[in-house]
Amino acid sequence: MKKQNWVGISLLGSLVCMIAFGAYVVSARQKNTVYLEDIQGDAAYLKAFPLEGVMGDQTESTAFTLINGNLETKHCAYGTDDWKAIEENHRMGIRGIHAYLYAPISGDHFMISTNVVPAKGAKQEYTQECQVGLFDAYTDAVKGETITTDAVEVLCDVEAFYMTSRGIHSAYGRSNIARFSTGLVMRDQPYIFAVGAEEHERLDYINYRHCYNNYNDSYAGEEDGVHQLRDYVTNVGNEIYAVVAPDQRCEGTTYVYRVSVEAEKPATYSGDMDFSDFLNMREEYGTAEPIVAVPDAKESSVVGLEGIGENQFALFSVKDNMWVVDVYDAKGALVGSVKQEIQWDTIPNYRFTGDPRFEIKCRQTKFEDGISLSVNLRGTMYEDTAKTSSDYGSTYETDIGRMLLWITKEGVTEMPMDDTVRDAVSNGKQVLYWDIQAAEEGKKLDEIKRYGTMDEVTIKIIDAQEQNTLYEGRLRTDCWQDKLTEIANIDNAKENGYLQMREGAAFLESDIRQIEQLRVMDWKE
């Protein structure tokens, strides 16, 4: 009898635990609710822009979609970063358990670099000794060889690969590499090629393993030495496109090249080599087909290259006070061109030098009949406290241009932009603006000075031609309310690890539940 009672009590306890656990799960699934609040206009316009996003923290998240006016949510037992990684895997076609194991990197990836060799017909001076000062101080270079030349030819190396959490793998299951001449020659200063030799314990054993040239061993931004040329690579469908941006030192004409890589990666020097091997770097692998001629650096500066969809690419350049986007088809025919004045004066007390170090940031969304391309031109500004021409003080990266383009096979159209929002997408007829921000109540807490929780999204759709508002709404969440219950007082905040002390002031640190991402989903066939 007692045994049965104990069994009953045990079963009852298990049942209670199961009920409690089930209640916890239900409670967890009720967290991070999201709802759409209409402000004005017709919500039917949202059907043209299917949205997906995620909110939560590093321990749990809630994914949500807004498709054809239907708002759906799904609780996930992992953080927002993991959710974004898994969704990226799904977009890449990775299914099953592998979608949860592999660290995703969207699409094929490429490594690109430039190298130089003595130009054909250049003057060369050969010495049977190594300039020891070229190498690091720890190198005991006891012998070597050096060639100094007055002109070099610029080569480009491109390698395609993909990466997972298990390491780097060659793209398409093979080693992919190409090396080709860019057609550019530089003769602005003497160029040095040297191989140093190091003596080991046996005095008769000399190991050639230190290779040097003053083009590859210099760094961009270095005042003395040779700055390497900037290079860009992208993919258009399954094809690789690459360009090396010429500067004022360059002679000759170069192109945007369509690159075909070799199936077998050629052997390259490993460090143990003789001097003839070191100079024999001009051997070309794969093929490089010229597609579009690049203007001379005196006319404009190439600052980026981006593949668009399956059969187009954009070449970005800067000329005087304008930045230009030229869109071509895969064969090099010009589809359309858009230019915009650069907004130089963006931050007080900062300025640009002669080399602003431009950078292009792109985001594209595929629709049934075209592609929306959002482009940011960024520049590195220097604090205007310089005591000398080379003393630039601190630096600051900022947007100095923004474009929203609608690209079809027939042409390129610039869509209206709102500089007050961070994200925009167009389907050619309407423009969707959205901005993740903190609700007003998320900025206030009497007891604790804290960071604002990004817990709502403002949404606005305008007509691309008339630019009148068609719809305005707000995606709202209860992220702030959920977090407020966990930090209702300082003691709870400390106990749960949400409160950190910094310089005597209390701040709420990471794991603040909030909206981490929102984007328009690609159109699917």
Per-residue confidence band for 143, with pLDDT thresholds at 50, 70 and 90: low
Written as six digits, the tokens of 398 are 């900022």
- What span, in angstroms and rounded, lies between the C-alpha atoms of 360 and 397? 12
> pLDDT (tens digit, 9 = 90+) per residue, 181-212?
999 999 988 888 887 766 555 445 555 556 77
Tell me how far the alpha carbon of residue 226 is from its chain's centroid.
Answer: 26
- What span, in angstroms and rounded, lies between the C-alpha atoms of 173 and 407? 33
Choose among 302, 166, 285: nearest CA to 229. 302
Choose among 91, 83, 70: nearest CA to 517. 83
8 A C-beta contact, residue 417 and residue 474: no
- What span, in angstroms and rounded, lies between the C-alpha atoms of 11 and 488? 37
Return the ∠ at Cα 69 (arms to 66 and 74), rounded to 5°: 35
8 A C-beta contact, residue 380 and residue 356: yes
Least confident range of 57-66, 269-278, 368-377: 269-278
Q: Which residue has the tokens 């690091």?
A: 136
Task: Name the E strands within 408-498.
Answer: 412-415, 423-426, 430-438, 454-463, 469-477
- What span, in angstroms and rounded, lies between the C-alpha atoms of 299 and 322? 12
pLDDT at 214 over 70: yes
Q: Maximum distance among all alpha carbons in the chain?
A: 106
* DSSP assignment of 78-92: S-HHHHHHHHHHHHT
Residue 522 region, left (φ>0) first, then alpha (ψ -120 to 50), else beta? beta
> pLDDT (tens digit, 9 = 90+) per residue, 77-96?
888 888 888 887 777 677 77
Indicate the pTM of the whole model.
Answer: 0.80
In angstroms, how far is the first alpha carbon of the chain from the final one? 67
Residue 381: Cβ within 10 Å count: 23
> pLDDT (tens digit, 9 = 90+) per residue, 382-423?
766 554 445 555 777 788 899 999 999 999 999 999 888 889
